[in-house]
Structures are given as structure tokens and as C-alpha cells.
Chain A
């Protein structure tokens, strides 16, 4: 029975002040009945809960995260090294330009805006200069829609995917990048937007200058203003966002011709590797398809990449047949 034990002993137990013989008697009491355990441990939870404020401070989560972040970084770093001499050469991006004309039905305006679309496929990148001097570097599988000439009040472009912008300064004409989720508003700066449609999070990172991220609503409410060296991560599903410091050089790693695979499944990674190394790669265990990876490939051999994949996901085993240019993953 609960009344068989002294309250004082219970309190001492909770506060870890039991002497050895007292400990023994609490143990004996606990062994008597299952309900005694329910009671005492329930009490203990209540006691811990009551200390929540103190404990949650003492846990030093921020410090713990810093340490964790480094450890995670190291395990992905494995994939990047060894970084060898020169970066691989990209085939010149075959850029497809569509000319799409839109006649404006506005009676007053006689301005007719013609839009261009630049689209890159897997493995392609493209650099383009807009007629205001702004430079845009488009990553693979991305699309930029922009007018051939900007109108008098603003400069509007639409982006799907990832691009790095160096916007020519013009105080009177803000440069607006609409990514569907939100719009990035700038006067003149350097920044990177990573907004592939399949991602839950979209990222805007600022290298120089100042930008505003504004809602795609008629009120154009400002979500956030970024300072150089920071990144806004925005969750498209929940609308939650946060800003943190980043290494913007790392964010724009993809521009240096390295093959950067971000958050892709093994199935997708395999397609990329097949294109790059001209091997046929078969995944024999379908369960592996869903594994996801971040990989930066500089000049590593296929075998190095495979061994790194095995390192981070030991369940993936590989065998290479160099004669027939075949790889089997299982």
C-alpha cells in the first residue's frame, strides 16, 4: 500500500537524498506491488516536470546543437574529400529559349511585354545577362522567366529551381524575384535562391547588400529582411521560417562546376552517376531507392563515390565490373 511508506522517504528519493539503507527499504516497498512502481515513478515524472524550467535551461541545447552540427558536417564532408585539382568541365549548357508573347489587354498601356524563358535540364547550367545588366546564373533543372525589356517601375522575374543573382543597382526600380512561395525584393545585391518545387524548404541566401522577402499577397507584407551572410529557410507547408548565418560561398558551390547533388534519392543519384561516368548502374534492392543524399562531386572516381555512399549508408553494398562498365548496388 502507498500508506506503507513514509512520505519523507519518497521525497528523499525524488531529490536523490536516500541513504543506502533507506534505498533498500524503498526497493523492498517497490517490489511489493506493481502499483507502487506506478505511483512512485509517476510521482517522479511530476517532480521532474515541475523542474522543467530549470532542466530545460541546464540542458544547454544550443551548445549541444553546435557540437551536433559539426559532427553532421564531418560525416557529409567525407563525400567532398579528396578535392582534386581542377573541376570537371561542364558541357556548355544547351539552353532552350522560348519566346512567349503576351499581349496586354490594358487599353491605356501600349507597352507590350515579351517574356523569355530559359530552362536548364539535368547537369546543365546557364549564365545570362538581363538587359539591365543583372547577371543570373541558373543551376540545373531550373527555369527563369523574364521580360526582354523591363518596364519603367520595376523589374520582375520568376524563378523555379535554383539561381544566383548579381543584380545591378537601381534605386528607382526594385528587382523582384517571384518563386511562387514568396517574392524576394532587392535594389542591387548578390544572392542565391534555392527553390526547387519538390523541396519542402526553400532557401534564400544573401552574399552582399540587402534584400527583403515579401509575401505573395496584395499587401506584400515583409516576411523578413536579410543581412549579408545569412539565409532564410522557409517551410512551404507550414509557412514557418527562420534565419541563420551561413557560409555563402558554400551555398553557391554549385556554380564552380562541381556536380552538387542535393537531397536526392539513391535512384536519382544513380541516374546522375550514369550520365557522368557512363556506367550502367543497377539497384537490386528496391528498398535502397528511397535513401537520400547530399553529394558534391569534384573529380572523384566512380569507385570513390560508391565507397563514400557505402560509408554513410552502410546498408548499400556495391560491386563494380570495369570491363562491362557495370555497377550493382544491393
Chain B
């Protein structure tokens, strides 16, 4: 997979728009998933992704790939997110201070200059997703799927299944931990 990306990148360097399209189609959703985690703002995430790809395209000739092309792309995007959050922090008059603080901590955590720059979305997400969700115990999976795919509130799931809110949330928590464990095995 790495090699495939490197090959696409070689073509992009030569100005091959088709290769760039394939690269975009593959990584745009991943950046989006990653960006939603940090920004929790769909529009902002999409805008910053566009800026990042544009910057990638404009600098395609100057990219020295000491690390993978993918991490380079994520690095650009990460920088865009920081810039955006800082600007917003200034504009917000610090009214949502704790939320902003939280985002700062998260951004620091994903800082690409850390030794291990890891967003799971840099890897083969589809494969991982399949593996992880299949591993879930049944009740756990049911609740989990309700909570994420149909975006139901814990209280709604609880009344639908006739269990307590507390149980629902514990199950969701359990599901996420199982997935987390799978991710560790994968990486």
C-alpha cells in the first residue's frame, strides 16, 4: 500500500491531475474523520482539508519525502487546524475556554513532531474498521451501532431496548475499548 502511494505521488509530482484525484479521493475522507475529531465542525473541517490539498498540490515539487507522503499530508492539515483553532480562540473572547483548552491539548497530543505521530486514519481504515466492529460482543454491537449509525441518544437507546441509560453508556464504552484494543494489535 505504501508503494502504491509513493507511485501515485511520483505521478503527482509530474503534474498528473488524475493521480492527484486518486490521492484526494483516498485521503479526503480520512482527513475528514481525523479533523472531525479535533474540530467537531463539519464545514471548518472540509474547508481546511481543501486548503491542505491545495497546499500539497502547490508544493508537490518541493516535497522531500523523508517520511511518507501520507504523514506529510496529515502534517499540513494538522498545521491548518492549529492555525484555525488559534484564530478562533482569539475571536471567541475566551467564552468557551474549557473547550478551547481541550482542543489545544488534543492538538498537542497529535503533534507531528512527536516521536510517534499516529492518527489511525493514516492507515488502511476500511480494513481496520471491518476487523474491529466484527470483534464486538453482540449486545454491545447492537447498542453501539444504534448509537453511532442512527445517532440515537443514550436515553433513546435505553428506552428502545428496555435497559438503563447507565447500561447503554457502559456498553458503548466497552465497545470503544474493544475497538481500541484491535487498533493496538493492528498498528
Q: Which residues of A contact B (CB under 8 A)?
A: 7-8, 10-11, 14, 16, 20, 23-24, 26-27, 30, 37, 41-56, 58-62, 64-65, 67-69, 71-72, 75, 199-201, 233, 235, 237-238, 242, 244, 262-263, 290-294, 312-313, 315
Contact = CB atoms under 8 A, between A and B. Distances in A.
Nearest to A199: B14
B29 A59 contact: yes
Contacts of B11: 200-201, 235
Contacts of A293: 15
23 contacts: A7-B173, A23-B98, A42-B183, A44-B37, A47-B176, A48-B37, A50-B148, A55-B36, A56-B32, A59-B28, A59-B32, A59-B33, A60-B46, A61-B28, A61-B29, A68-B50, A71-B54, A200-B7, A200-B14, A237-B7, A292-B61, A294-B15, A315-B62
Residue among A14, A62, A68 with the most chain B CB within 10 A?
Answer: A68
A310 to B, nearest CB: 14
A64 B172 CA distance: 32
B20 A72 contact: yes
Contact of B173 (A10, A200, A233): A10
Nearest to B24: A65
B175 interface: yes
Report the interface size class on chain B: 35 or more
Contacts of B125: 49, 52, 56
B169 interface: yes
B21 A65 contact: yes
A50 B16 contact: no
Contact of B109 (A16, A41, A58): A41
Nearest to B38: A44
Contact of B149 (A53, A65, A201, A294): A53
Contacts of B14: 199-200, 263, 292
Given A53-B149, A263-B16, 19 more contacts: A7-B170, A8-B166, A10-B173, A11-B154, A20-B96, A23-B98, A27-B105, A30-B105, A49-B132, A50-B132, A54-B149, A55-B32, A56-B33, A68-B54, A69-B17, A200-B14, A200-B16, A201-B11, A235-B11
